[in-house]
Amino acid sequence: MPIAPLREVSEQELVDFLSDLFWSAFRKAPFEVLCAVLRVSGMQDADWDPFEESKAAFEDYNALLRLDEAKLSQAGRWRIGLLMYCQAVEMTAPQEFLANLLRVLSGEKYHIKPFGSLGRTNKKKAFSWVPPSASVKYRELKRPAAMCNQSALCDYINQFFNEEIRNAFSHSDYVISGEHFRWTESGLAQQLPLDAVNLTVRNCFRFFSALLWLHNQVLTDLKTLPRFHKWPNYEVLELLSDTERLYGFSVHFSNGAKATYSRSEKGVECTNVLFESDGSINFMVGLLDALRPEWKVNGQPYEQAI
């Protein structure tokens, strides 16, 4: 697919596109998308979530950008902007969120590590695993996007992701000089006009601003759904919410057992949730002989829980 010329992408078109992408997937497979929003994975203690760290870092970077020129030079603003850019395009959680929405639209299930097959082992270090690079993951995102009629996502990625900018800044192989961003180590010396770099960075900030807004908004919207939902095989899905947002779910079984996943500032609870070899999730239901053809919540008839 040829790369489109660089253009200004508006935040509103990104909000419209990403919202449509999310709700299209949600209508197709609500529970799989629920898992994507909650980022279902294994047990995790508090203060181990890089996604929350990145969001806090952006607040700090923005505070620096608000400093006056006596404290922060124009070149300093470029450097902080490029630091934010590299952190944004490297964030794994938004990449996996998008990958799982595309998986659902393609008729597949939620996957706890949708890019896992793209990693590799380090032959010099036992039990090691080298995750795929950002460029590999964005290239992979374009493949299902094109296949499920979401090719606009391919264009948006082209508008904000530039591997040469990311690589040069991350490896301290750059110079901000006059009207150009220059780098040398990856071959012949090259440069890009700062106007093009600025447009790429602005598009990046708008894309991730829209995506993070959407992620937060759907957690708020989903908490307004009914608390309990009957499933066909006599399970009951319970949505766990506080006053602000959805933070998890429990699946109740007719033998009194339940599986729970929740994500909060205190960490991640993951009880009786199983991870299959294909990356999907399943549940430990307890004694199969005790299951009954009736819906129950915590061992009590479903109607008493409403």
DSSP string, 28-75: H-HHHHHHHHHT--S-EETT--HHHHHHHHHHHHHHHHTS-TTTS-HH
- As beta bridge partners, residue 249 has 239, 261
Specify whether 109 is located in the same domain as 209.
yes
State the residue range of the domain holding 166.
11-222
pLDDT at residue 1 in the model: 42
pLDDT at residue 151 in the model: 94
Inform me whether the pLDDT recorded for 164 exceeds 80: yes
Residues in the chain: 306
CA distance between the termini of the chain: 52
pLDDT at residue 143 in the model: 95
In the listed set 222, 246, 263, which residue is the last one of a domain according to the structure? 222
Q: Supply the Cα-derived Rg of the chain in whole angstroms.
A: 22
Q: Which of 12, 34, 14, 13 minimizes the C-alpha distance to 23? A: 34
- Is 252 in a helix, a strand, or coil? strand
Specify whether 235 is located in the same domain as 217.
no
Beta strands in the chain (DSSP E): 44-45, 175-177, 180-183, 190-193, 228-230, 236-241, 246-252, 258-264, 267-271, 273-275, 281-283, 296-297, 300-301
Specify whether 289 is located in the same domain as 267.
yes
What's the pLDDT tens digit per position in 62-96?
999 898 877 888 889 999 999 999 999 999 999 99
In the listed set 181, 197, 222, which residue is the last one of a domain according to the structure? 222
Number of independent structural domains in the chain? 2
209 pLDDT tier (thresholds 50, 70, 90):
very high
What's the pLDDT tens digit per position in 108-149?
999 999 998 888 877 777 777 788 999 999 999 999 999 999
Q: CA 84 to CA 61: how far, in whole Å?
A: 7
What's the pLDDT tens digit per position in 229-238?
999 999 999 9
| Domain presence at residue 299 | yes
Task: At 161, list the tokens.
Answer: 């992701």
Query: What is the helix (H) or strand (E) element at residue 100, kind and residue range?
Result: helix 92-105
Percentage of the chain lying above the pLDDT 70 cut:
98
Specify whether 206 is located in the same domain as 232.
no
